[in-house]
């Protein structure tokens, strides 16, 4: 469905980097939820560039909710969130109109839209469109919170620097999630975090960029969520997450490490523990047969290095049909992984809210139904 | 949509391992296509167990097309493919009814369906349901073939044995695709293939199992396919592929290796070459901004080791609520990756046919429209 | 979605009149429902031709459930129902291959499918495909029954003969629904029913056919069902019902009579009565703003006269591109409205089950959740 | 999908009557279309209240396109159209907060959204939300125009006053469509139009309201459009049109008159005429078996009398749970049918664009593809 995803709770995203506005419509949220605007702004802050590790572009990202909320509470009808584009500096891009920036969408957009796309700043393909997703995700996260479901994401790897992995102990994991959710540069080991920031700074100085790996954990998700075939939790979650521009890989639980394991090591043994069913390991990342088994859901994604770099690169001029070079001189991020983190949390939340609604219905979420 | 996927060309899958029949409905295929039954059977053969590296279970998998084909050609209305379950040996499973096989769907199915699921042989979660997908995929592959689009998959890694990667040279890649498409145990380097088979055999002798990594390549896909946000090629392809039971990770192009790269190495430079636009490297696996750029699409998936192993494992009895052990003594595969390969080809084909139809319409495929 | 409809509970229909099999896949039904096969067969009997008012074609319509039911109960996974085509007499139709029967789908199918459609007996467009819908509808009706929701339909008008309308008294209406649900030729006034049968017989003797109007009522539907804009109850119900071949009009409540009314007569006043909210009239057929208000849902549809008539008609030969005439000499119904009745009940049930699931979730239906 | 409809070309609607903004997102329109803003404004004018036959409320309805259009042309990405709510006079409604206006959505919204809905002026259920639909419809109508497809609607009946029906002559019909498309109060016979306006005025003076019947015709639609089962043209068109608040019935071609006809009169004979296939009559309204046959598509809908009337009516107070009365004293329309006309045109256009895209693809519409 192109720019809409979700069956019972759906999000539609629109806008271009240098157009008038970007925004989204979030449809299917139950009525009566007090929107926590402070939380929404905090979430948006996590996506904002900060310090020298990010672009100097100042985006206000101030969300304006123009429908679906009345007297501070959701009405049950579509929630529309708008954000004005203020610090556009469109002139930065006019010289790039015909130049296909390597690994950006410029070339494919030019093919797909026959030259009619808004080319300024990546247009509809700009990472800027993740801002409304974060705003909508804040609503989804609030819904999940209310049902005891938490999501947290940290930077597991940045170039050649590695953070500790999430704990396999349930209690500790909860604390770790709470901790990273308060951080801008989300890592478990803050010393490692510093090393990572230095690595980004180093890339910036070299007119270059770096990527990394995000690790997310979801705790509190009831077992039985996900559908047997085409709507396996893995299918749905990956569908949502691959809409983030820079993500090029995803794995659940042990993921690609499964390739090196024997079945006897890879299998997660079930056990009754204090009346609950647990698995003694969690190689499958909380998902069996596409359905949640009550253990933490574990997801990793790889975020490629930001394609916008100041270094000169070979490319083509789409107008003159000639080979040329480009050095992208605008304000750009030497890394976006720390900013992509909250987008990942947001899309995970939106995916889960939709999946849960299929099983429990819209009415399940109603605060007054508690 | 649970057991249905696709917008303009959709597949619906049904059945249980030990029920009467499994099958699928493929809706939206244009009229007038001569179904190549020989090709369909060949594809199904690739999914069949063969030799000691596979289960001894004999499945006929004979597809019976009961609708949508008339006088050998598609009619434009739903194509229904049925397969009878013959070699069921249901007694094999009755003793396992209450035992949750580790890393199988038994436990989650029991939760989700409150004990009413058909537990025999994994029921609806059985890998057996991929047989109708392969049959439907054969039709999709035929459509793509007609438009000059080829798909091929090989076993890149099996436990600790590694095949050569697909060539970065377009011509060579085409030959490699053609080659692997004729093989049962699909590898580029046949000596390596032998090593892999030995590795599987070794696992079997140890009452254990192994997994690996599949690498797929798609050549000939026009540029401009894929949609900007939620229906990026990566989103749609991963949605389809994660419906294969054992797949726990996916990556496009350089995938998780991007984490270790600088942007200047990761970016794919564009170049005009003999009037065509190419990229000098293909780290992005033929996809920029979620849309095909005309280069080969490169996808890797990880297939976890088969969870059914003869070794004793700890688990629970869901009826008595007690901890227990299980040794799965039926006929099982020490590896399924070589059989999963054709399922991956099939799902890739189904995904692409749907995506292409969105841009070009149902009528584009009509043979008489050529 | 062509041959699939429904979001959380979906039905996919397939087959051709003279192919091997027709059938359907019903996906999303909760686990644990004891399928009442006797009820399903009774429903199918209502669709069967009986006596001289129907075609002499004998269709066994014996439903074979090949997936989704285990030990008599639904498993929660797709329910597949197959019916073999036995009494096909394909030769009846070969002479008609190139003749476009007036008001049939022959001509449009020939255009849409470029001559590749299965032309025998209407192929995929045959009314025969409503048989699996009735079988699936029986499951949906069972679910609704369990929640205290009843549906009944009678022939309100047949050519120039008019039955009594459903009662506006809730208790009486319930009895009327129960009554018509036991009948083959469903009318409230049996004397009128006899007149109608005579009218059909008269049409048959004149080598002609007749149509009429069906009136359906739904009682027990909770208020709050239906979605504000594009999934209004009217939108969804009409989408389902217009898939019945002969239906060319639909109205809710007073329907087209609203055109002749003043607002003061058309509005339904609300009133508290014994603690419940009722409306003193029900011109809106239980639907305000697209959402159920707790009053009976009232729907009328018009079924056009059967297009297959023995009388000679002008038409074209699609092969020779010449004008010609046709007299349809096969076994045909002089009226199908009495057989369409149960199809309408079935589609209404399928529509409601999907709409209710959106609000209450799949789990709401589980028998063990009561 | 609640507030989103369409598969390849989709519209999402949002907003409340007295919220900040209403609007819509139109996704899937091809790139390169010069948006004719003058035409869009003309279409919006047709929806605006004018003279004493409409409400005195002044709505600016000025559409602001904030995404998807760049340098006057569509970009291929989502088109977002916003309209500010200016003349809100929210105080008018505060006294009505707990009063369920008869035949309005107040009561069902209160049930469905547990009292959290925006009750002012009908909130999300307000007819005001049809304004963005008209703006989006203008884009769809432009696309159809470019392909030679025209849509026109006139008031066939207003209370007891009847306009001439659309001509059965193709050439004349085209002229009639062109004619009504220039009118605010769309009728074929202007003398009749005057009578209708007098009838509305009379209703207004009596503090009452009237409804009527709209007749639409579509010419130039290629044959073969529509899908066999659940996406019949009738199913899809009715799904779209029943999202208009006041519409309670729809019929295609002869519609409910089929009930009174014999098959021999109801059938439309095919004939070759100047190399084209036509039908000698058009009782089926251009649709056989759910698929267009090349003849004009004929649709009629009934618009019920406006429920907001100044006359005192019986109703309930939802807060005190008491019976009470209400006289709706705000600014209201004694008839909305003349304003609903352009909404019907718009929804028909959106439905057709989506159906055509399924067959011909997004690329078919590209201006540069001509």
Place of tokens 């002229």: D175
Query: pLDDT at residue B332 above 90?
Result: no
CA distances from residue C239 to B223, C147, C250 in whole angstroms, order as listed: 36, 24, 10
D118–A75 C-beta distance less than 8 A: yes
The verdict on A132 touching D (C-beta cutoff 8 Å) is no
Tens digit of pLDDT for each residue in D20-29?
A: 999 999 999 9
**In a 3-state reduction of DSSP, which class is residue B261?**
coil
- Residue A370: pLDDT band (50, 70, 90) is very low
Q: What average pLDDT is seen over chain C?
A: 94
Tens digit of pLDDT for each residue in A245-270?
A: 999 999 999 999 999 999 999 999 99
Place of tokens 């209406």: C173
Strand intervals (E) in A56-208: 64-67, 69-70, 73-74, 79-84, 150-158, 161-162
Tens digit of pLDDT for each residue in C277-303?
A: 999 999 999 999 999 999 999 999 999
Q: What per-residue confidence (pLDDT) applies to D26?
A: 98
Determine the Cα–Cα distance for residues C344 and B46; give it in Å rounded to an integer: 45
CB burial of A342-353 (b: ≥16 within 10 Å; e: otherwise) equals bbbbbbbbbbbb
The verdict on C271 touching B (C-beta cutoff 8 Å) is no
Q: What per-residue confidence (pLDDT) applies to A159?
A: 98
The verdict on B7 touching D (C-beta cutoff 8 Å) is yes
Antiparallel, parallel or unpaired: β C270-273 and C276-279: antiparallel
Burial zone of D368 (CB within 10 Å; 0-12 exposed, 13-18 middle, 19+ buried): exposed
Average the pLDDT over each of A25-39, A134-148, B57-71 and give the range with the smallest value: B57-71
Contact call for residues B334 and B208 (beta carbons, < 8 A): yes
Query: pLDDT at residue B277 above 90?
Result: yes
Take residue B43 and report the two structure tokens written for it. Answer: 């594809």
- Average pLDDT on D75-103 reads 84
Q: Among residues 50-79 of chain B, which lie with CB inside 8 Å of chain D?
A: 77
CA distances from residue B9 to B66, B224, B340, D232, D363 in whole angstroms, order as listed: 18, 19, 22, 17, 17
Query: What is the percent of chain C with per-residue pLDDT over 90, rounded to a whole number?
Result: 88
Determine the Cα–Cα distance for residues C169 and B97; give it in Å rounded to an integer: 52
DSSP annotation of D360 reads: H
- CATH-assigned architecture of domain A4-360: 4-Layer Sandwich (3.60)
Tens digit of pLDDT for each residue in A116-146?
A: 999 998 999 999 999 999 999 999 999 999 9
The verdict on B361 touching D (C-beta cutoff 8 Å) is yes
Q: What is the DSSP string of A269-280?
A: -EEEETTEEEES
Burial zone of D212 (CB within 10 Å; 0-12 exposed, 13-18 middle, 19+ buried): buried
Contact call for residues B359 and D362 (beta carbons, < 8 A): yes
Place of tokens 């007119």: A207
Residue B25's nearest CA partner among C346, C11, D225, C31 is: C11
Domain ranges of chain A: 4-360
Contact call for residues A57 and D6 (beta carbons, < 8 A): no
Determine the Cα–Cα distance for residues C334 and C313; give it in Å rounded to an integer: 16
Q: What per-residue confidence (pLDDT) applies to D59?
A: 64
Q: Which of C14, C28, C114 minimises the CB distance to B80?
A: C14
DSSP annotation of B262 reads: B
Tens digit of pLDDT for each residue in A195-240?
A: 999 999 999 999 999 999 999 999 999 999 999 989 999 999 999 9
| Residues pairing with C324 in the sheet | C315
Q: What average pLDDT is seen over chain D?
A: 94
Contact call for residues A4 and A41 (beta carbons, < 8 A): no
Q: What is the DSSP string of B264-307?
A: HHHS--EEEETTEEEESS-TTTTEETTEE-SSPEEEEEEEPPPS
- Average pLDDT on B258-263 reads 97
Query: pLDDT at residue B370 above 50?
Result: no
Contact residues, chain D, for B361 at CB < 8 Å: 357-361, 363-364
Determine the Cα–Cα distance for residues C160 and C211; give it in Å rounded to an integer: 10
Query: pLDDT at residue C32 above 90?
Result: yes
Contact call for residues A337 and A248 (beta carbons, < 8 A): no
D80–A14 C-beta distance less than 8 A: yes
Vertex C243: Cα angle to C238 and C248 (nearest 5): 70
CA distances from residue A178 to A189, A351, D250 in whole angstroms, order as listed: 14, 20, 55
- Residue C80: pLDDT band (50, 70, 90) is very high
Query: pLDDT at residue C312 above 60?
Result: yes
Tens digit of pLDDT for each residue in C211-229?
A: 999 999 999 999 999 999 8
Q: What per-residue confidence (pLDDT) applies to D370?
A: 45
Q: Interface pTM (ipTM) of the complex?
A: 0.96
- Average pLDDT on D35-48 reads 96
C124–B77 C-beta distance less than 8 A: yes
Q: Among residues 80-109 of chain A, which lie with CB inside 8 Å of chain D?
A: 80, 82
Determine the Cα–Cα distance for residues C343 and A231; give it in Å rounded to an integer: 30
- Residue D367: pLDDT band (50, 70, 90) is confident
Contact call for residues B78 and C13 (beta carbons, < 8 A): yes
pTM over 0.95? The answer is yes
- Residue B50: pLDDT band (50, 70, 90) is confident
Contact call for residues D153 and D181 (beta carbons, < 8 A): no
- Average pLDDT on A317-341 reads 91
Containing H/E element for B326? strand B322-327
Query: pLDDT at residue C370 above 60?
Result: no
- Residue D110: pLDDT band (50, 70, 90) is very high
- Average pLDDT on B96-106 reads 92
- Residue A88: pLDDT band (50, 70, 90) is low
- Closest approach of B284 to chain A, Cα-based (Å): 7
Residue C162's nearest CA partner among C192, C138, C141 is: C192
Q: What per-residue confidence (pLDDT) applies to C91?
A: 61
Question: CB-hemisphere CA count at 13 Å for B288?
Answer: 31
Antiparallel, parallel or unpaired: β A79-84 and A161-162: unpaired
Tens digit of pLDDT for each residue in D308-349?
A: 999 999 999 999 999 999 998 877 889 999 999 999 999 999
Determine the Cα–Cα distance for residues A185 and C262; give it in Å rounded to an integer: 65
Determine the Cα–Cα distance for residues D282 and D274; give it in Å rounded to an integer: 18
Contact residues, chain B, for D359 at CB < 8 Å: 361-363
CB burial of C183-212 (b: ≥16 within 10 Å; e: otherwise) equals bbbbbbeeebbebbbebbeebbebbbbbbb
Q: Per residue, what are the HEC states of chain C?
A: CCCEECCCCEEEEEECCCCCEEEEEEECCCCCCECCHHHHHHHHHHHCCCCCCCCCCCCCCCCEEEECEECCEECCCCEEEEEECCCCCCHHHHCCCCECCCCCCHHHHHHHCCCCCCCHHHHHHCHHHHHHHHHHHHHHHHHHHHCCCEEEEEEEEECCEECCCCCCCHHHHHHHHHHHCCCCCCCCCHHHHHHHHHHHHHHHHCCCCECEEEEEEEECCCCCCCCCCCCCHHHHHHHHHCCCCCEEEEEECCHHHHHHCEHHHHCCCEEEECCEEEECCCCCCCEECCEECCCCEEEEEEECCCCCCCCEEEEEECCCCEEEEEECCCCCCCCCHHHHHHHHHHHHHHHHHHHHHHHHCHHHHCHHHC
- Average pLDDT on C118-128 reads 93
- Residue A329: pLDDT band (50, 70, 90) is confident
D70–A19 C-beta distance less than 8 A: yes
């Amino acid at each position: 469905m192109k720019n809409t995803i979700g069956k019972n709770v759906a999000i539609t995203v629109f806008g271009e980097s240098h157009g008038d506005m970007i925004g989204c419509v979030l449809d299917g949220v139950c009525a009566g939820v007090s929107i926590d605007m402070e939380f929404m702004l905090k979430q948006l802050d996590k996506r904002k560039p900060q310090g020298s590790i990010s672009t100097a572009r100042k985006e206000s990202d101030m969300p304006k909710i123009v429908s679906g909320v009345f007297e501070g509470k959701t009405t049950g009808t579509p929630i529309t969130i708008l954000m004005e584009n203020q610090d556009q500096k469109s002139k930065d891009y006019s010289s790039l109109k015909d130049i296909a920036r390597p690994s950006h969408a410029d070339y494919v957009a030019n093919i797909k839209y026959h030259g009619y796309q808004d080319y300024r700043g990546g247009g509809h393909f700009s990472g800027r469109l993740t801002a409304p997703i974060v705003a909508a995700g804040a609503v989804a996260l609030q819904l999940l919170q209310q049902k005891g479901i938490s999501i947290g994401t940290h930077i597991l790897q940045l170039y050649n620097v590695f953070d500790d992995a999430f704990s396999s102990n349930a209690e500790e994991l909860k604390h770790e999630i709470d901790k990273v959710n308060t951080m801008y540069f989300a890592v478990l080991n803050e010393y490692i975090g510093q090393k990572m920031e230095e690595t980004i700074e180093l890339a910036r100085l070299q007119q270059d960029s770096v990527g990394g790996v995000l690790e997310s954990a979801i705790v509190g998700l009831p077992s039985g969520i996900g559908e047997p075939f085409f709507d396996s939790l893995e299918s749905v979650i990956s569908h949502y997450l691959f809409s983030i521009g820079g993500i090029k890989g995803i794995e659940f639980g042990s993921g690609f490490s499964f390739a090196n394991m024997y079945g006897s090591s890879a299998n997660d043994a079930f056990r009754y523990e204090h009346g609950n069913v647990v698995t003694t390991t969690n190689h499958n990342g909380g998902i069996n047969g596409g359905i949640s088994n009550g253990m933490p859901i574990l997801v990793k994604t790889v975020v490629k290095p930001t394609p916008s770099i100041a270094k000169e690169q070979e490319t083509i001029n789409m107008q003159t049909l000639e080979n040329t070079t480009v050095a992208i001189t605008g304000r750009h991020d030497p890394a976006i992984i720390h900013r992509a983190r909250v987008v990942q949390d947001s899309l995970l939340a939106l995916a889960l809210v939709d999946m849960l609604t299929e099983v429990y219905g819209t009415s399940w979420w109603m605060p007054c139904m508690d």
